[in-house]
Amino acid sequence: MEVSRHDIVLVGGGGAGLRAAIAAVEASPSLSVACVSKLYPMRSHTVSAEGGAAGVARDDDNLDLHAYDTLKGSDFLADQDAVEIFVAAAPKELVQLERWGCPWSREKDGRVAVRAFGGMTTKRTWYATDKTGFHMLHALFQTSLKYDRIVRYDEYFATKILVENGRAVGVAAFDMRTGKMHAMLGRSVILCTGGAGRIFPFTTNAAVKTGDGMALAYRAGVGLKDMEFVQYHPTGLPGTGILITEASRGEGGYLKNNKGERFLIEYDYGVGGKAELGPRDMVSRAEMREFQAGRGFKGPYGDYVHLELMHLGEEKINERIPFVRELAKNYVGIDPVFEPIPVRPVAHYMMGGVDTDLNGATELPGLFAAGEAACVSINGANRLGSNSLTECLVFGARSGIAAAEYAAGSTSGDEKSALEQARSEESRLERLRGKHGGEKIAQIRRELNLATESGCGVFREEESMRAGLDTVVQLKGRYADIGLTDRSVIFNTEVVQALELGNMIDIAETVVLSALHRRESRGAHTRTDYPTRNDGEFWKHSLVKFAADGPRLSYKPVKKTRWELEERKY
């Protein structure tokens, strides 16, 4: 086993992670950060974000309006203090990215351009054509190369948070290239590992989105908050689930059913005059209702609706959303300049995550989290499109600074227990590599995907969630008996997949369990058996904690500052 020592151990090198790393090294002139990531940082899933990043930029806009839109979008489950901090820091963070070379699209006068997005009252979404996440991530990665004190451990897979005297003091992670376990020791740990969209069969999410950091925190005893809230994006390509950005509607695209109707206008789905720019939960529900009413188109991957862009014209499509055109042409053989794109709701984003305070701190001293992996929460029951890229920046930076302060104010322990834990991880990895057993990784993953889909789809009800939960619990049992065929220590991706599957099962269990017990409909959590919001009983965050005999569910209050709860109608 190898031992590496740094001040901060960061797991995850996407938008939030790199922002945290840069903030940490800038906060302290001598501090070093280990950036541990299971893939090269610029491959992280931030790269796939398309439409933009929200932050007040124009005179007709203000922070309170951004905050209100975000709270209303969240169906009033977001913490209002967190949202206030978020909207206030957003513009500065986006300008910071501009300083670091992000090629934001521009107005004629050279100012950064902004576009319309779902649930936002006015234009405030900064964008770099329709590859905003890609450009932000590469700007962050390239900027991070400036700092020798950001020490990258690329293609290292973290298996456990090391805890000593009740504090997080590092992680156990193995080098995928050699199979060798490393004890990555530090005085604080930050998790920026993204969400867990891969627990669902049909998702926009990259292969790496297996909830690793959420699972690490969960097993270290930290609560996972609001896990039942899974965002279904209304415009994914059937089959692949590839994301067609909301910016295509922000730029004026229409959604139409098989009767040629703009159904969001034709029927009452609660989005009012916002029509196609309603929030994602409402638009996804509307599409599902259209399917139920027989107004969807039939395809080999189920029903779909049409996203029409033809009226925008080739020039605007090429200028504003060229990637949409490229994706539609490549993956469904359709040129949106001439034909509508088939789209349907697809699992996209987890509003829930590791329970943190406003600085990304968790209940485990020394452990911080940011980005999709975390739940601060600014997204509540439904995130507004383009808030998450900004969230990565704002709370990535805050957690980086907070973790640097924590590291500066604490001393290293004797490392004895931490090294023991890492050694025990080394043995666990070795056992897994040669493990004989009757169950197959791919098979369990498929069954897990079916269980989450039937239990926690766009519409949910008691019986299917109970069945889903039973299945997940059974799969957990069967997972203990998986067999692996690859004995190699060198770039053994079967071992990685086995560990990821273990993480996915734990996360799926927290999702279905939280959903089952939230007997109301709020934001993205829509129950056919409890169709209305119930503030009296459920205006609270769910919190799931690990226990040896199964997860424990509790609740914690939502923080309110200046906004009263109202009915969510647009």
Partner 1 sequence: MAETKLYKFEVLRFRPESDKEPVFETYEVPCMEDWVVLDALNAIKDDIDPTLSHRWSCRMGVCGSCGMLVNGRPILTCAAFVRNYSGTIRVEPLSNFPIVRDLVVDLESFIDKIKSVKPWIIRKLEKDLADGEYRQSPEQLEEFKQYSMCINCALCYAACPVLASEPEFLGPAAIALAHRYNLDSRDEGNAERFDTLNAGDGLWGCSYANECSQVCPKHVDPAMAIQQAKLTDALQWVHVLPKKNFT
Residues at the contact surface with partner 1, assessed by CB under 8 A:
39-40, 42-45, 47-48, 92, 95-96, 98-101, 103-112, 131, 134-135, 138, 142-143, 145-146, 154, 177, 206-208, 239-240, 242-243, 300, 323, 326-327, 330-332, 441-442, 484-486, 488-494
Nearer residue to partner 1 within complex by CB, 346 or 422: 346
Nearer residue to partner 1 within complex by CB, 164 or 372: 372
Question: Residue 7, SS3?
Answer: coil
Which of 330, 270, 340 has the alpha carbon at shortest distance from 299? Answer: 340
Residue 382 CB, shortest distance to partner 1, in Å, is 24
Cα 505 to Cα 366: distance, rounded to the nearest angstrom:
26
Residue 441 CB, shortest distance to partner 1, in Å, is 7
Question: In this structure, what DSSP letter does residue 294 have?
Answer: T
Q: At what angle do helices 462-479 and 441-455 cross, to 10 degrees?
A: 160
Q: Which of 233, 348, 383, 527 is catalytic?
A: 233
Q: Are 17 and 396 spatial neighbours (Cβ–Cβ below 8 Å)?
A: yes
Nearer residue to partner 1 within complex by CB, 80 or 503: 503
Nearer residue to partner 1 within complex by CB, 40 or 292: 40
Tokens for 494, please give them. Answer: 């079967």
Nearer residue to partner 1 within complex by CB, 446 or 466: 446
106 assigned to active site: no
Question: Residue 422, SS3?
Answer: helix
Residue 204 CB, shortest distance to partner 1, in Å, is 9
Measured from the Cβ of residue 242, the count of other Cβ atoms closer than 10 Å reads 17
Question: In this structure, what DSSP letter does residue 226 have?
Answer: S
Q: Which of 66, 138, 149, 249 is catalytic?
A: 249
Residue 337 CB, shortest distance to partner 1, in Å, is 18
Beta strands in 125-219 (DSSP E): 125-126, 150-154, 156-164, 167-175, 181-185, 188-191
Which of 500, 496, 502, 501 has the alpha carbon at shortest distance from 174? Answer: 496
Residue 180 CB, shortest distance to partner 1, in Å, is 14
Question: In this structure, what DSSP letter does residue 149 have?
Answer: T
Residue 286 CB, shortest distance to partner 1, in Å, is 25
Residue 332 CB, shortest distance to partner 1, in Å, is 8
Nearer residue to partner 1 within complex by CB, 348 or 518: 348
Nearer residue to partner 1 within complex by CB, 241 or 278: 241
Phi, then psi, of 251 in degrees rounded to 5: -90, 0
Q: Which long-range contacts (CB under 8 A, 24 or more apart) does 79-84 make?
A: 79/376, 79/377, 79/378, 79/380, 79/558, 79/559, 80/558, 80/559, 80/560, 80/561, 80/562, 80/563, 81/358, 81/559, 81/561, 82/358, 82/376, 82/377, 82/378, 82/559, 83/378, 84/561, 84/562
233 assigned to active site: yes
C-alpha radius of gyration, the chain, whole number? 22
Show which residues are catalytic.
233, 249
